Structure 1
């Protein structure tokens, strides 16, 4: 593989907060523009615009999980949390089903790899969280392009 293969997981909450925040800002501006002489309209418009700005800023701060595979390493990034694994240590993978999907990686012997926790807790985890909108077929095609087989067809068997 000469170029890195990259998959950015979609984050639905980010888009909802951004569009809702911008809609509230526009509604607040429209409320003030409708009748700028009345104090109730001005107060309501300012409150709506502030709430919309808070929602929009929070939406911009949400970081999407990114999976990237290059010649030397597999990389998972979600905000400040970065996991780097040498590519030759990965034997197989599996996608955990559920409301929020996760990616589990196994070593060449088929044992699950352990990762430090996302929030600096003491425990470690055996999977990397993706998002609920992540299509398992996209993850499977990404891993196939990277050359990592699914768990049921591990390199050891």
Structure 2
């Protein structure tokens, strides 16, 4: 496969933190603009604006998981954590249900592949975490475009 296929998982918490942070900054400016001569309005406006800046900064730091297939390689990236798997080593995939969706990859014999842990929490895991807003149908269409069959329709089973 010479073409790049890419999917960025939506992160709802990031959008909420960004919008709430920007709203608090605006609210802080409005509170100060109402009565700029009174110390209570200035203090409240400053605290609201600082809280909004902190919330928006934290929202910008949240990294969304990215799935990508290019140049014969499957790549999963979430911040500094990167997993690269040669495309020919992937036999099938499965999506784990639950509050936070996860993607599992299987080798050509149908056994789940193991990946190093995220942020050194476990020794290894058999899935790659996505986000709760990631639709299983969207993951299935991405994998179909990439040419990876689902586990239930794998050639080996």
Q: After TM superposition, is the score higher than 0.5?
A: yes
Contact kept in structure 1, 2:2 and 2:72, CA below 8 Å: no
Q: Secondary structure at the residue paired with 1:156? A: coil
Q: What is the deviation of 1:71?
A: 3.2
Q: What is the deviation of 1:122?
A: 4.4
Q: Deviations over 1:41-63 (max 9, x none)?
A: 00000000000000000000000
Q: Secondary structure at the residue paired with 2:156? A: coil
Aligned length: 157
Matched with 2:27 is 27
Unaligned runs of 5+ in 1: none
Q: Deviations over 1:54-110 (max 9, x none)?
A: 000000000000000113110000000000000000000000000000000000000
User: Does residue 77 in structure 1 map to residue 68 in structure 2?
Assistant: no
Q: Secondary structure at the residue paired with 2:99? A: coil
Q: How many Å separate the matches in 2 of 1:137 and 1:39?
A: 54
* Segment drifting more, 73-82 vs 120-129: 120-129
Q: How many Å separate the matches in 2 of 1:155 and 1:6?
A: 24
Alignment map for 1:32-71 (pairs within 5 Å): 32-71=32-71
Matched with 1:14 is 14
- TM superposition score normalised by structure 2: 0.98
Unaligned runs of 5+ in 2: none
Q: How many Å separate the matches in 1 of 2:54 and 2:121?
A: 28
Q: How many Å separate the matches in 2 of 1:136 and 1:55?
A: 30
Matched with 1:138 is 138
Alignment map for 1:118-157 (pairs within 5 Å): 118-157=118-157
